[in-house]
Each structure stands twice: as structure tokens, then as C-alpha cells.
Amino acid sequence: MENKTLKVAELFAGVGGFRLGLEISNYKVVWSNQWEPST
């Protein structure tokens, strides 16, 4: 069986802690974003 890396997109990334967990778990984050409105 092939060992495939799943590709994911991270929405509302913040400081990126969720991304680190994904990468440690053999996911490849191909896109992430963070949107904060101007004041």
C-alpha cells in the first residue's frame, strides 16, 4: 500500500498551531490564510 500525503487547506490560521499538528501527522498544508479586518 502506498503511503500518500493528504493535502489540506487551513482557514483562519491564527498563529499556526493547528498547521503544526497537521504537518506532524503527515498532512501537507498547501494553503493557509488569516483575515483580520482593519480598524
Band the pLDDT of 30: cuts 50, 70, 90.
very high
Q: What value does the mean pLDDT take over residues 6-12?
A: 90
Contact 13, 4 (CB under 8 A): no
The domain in which residue 14 lies consists of: 1-39
Q: Who wins on pLDDT, 3 or 22?
A: 22
Question: Domain total for the chain?
Answer: 1
Band the pLDDT of 14: cuts 50, 70, 90.
confident
Rounded to the nearest 5 degrees, what angle is found at the Cα of 37, between the Cα atoms of 8 and 9?
0
AA identity, residue 6:
L
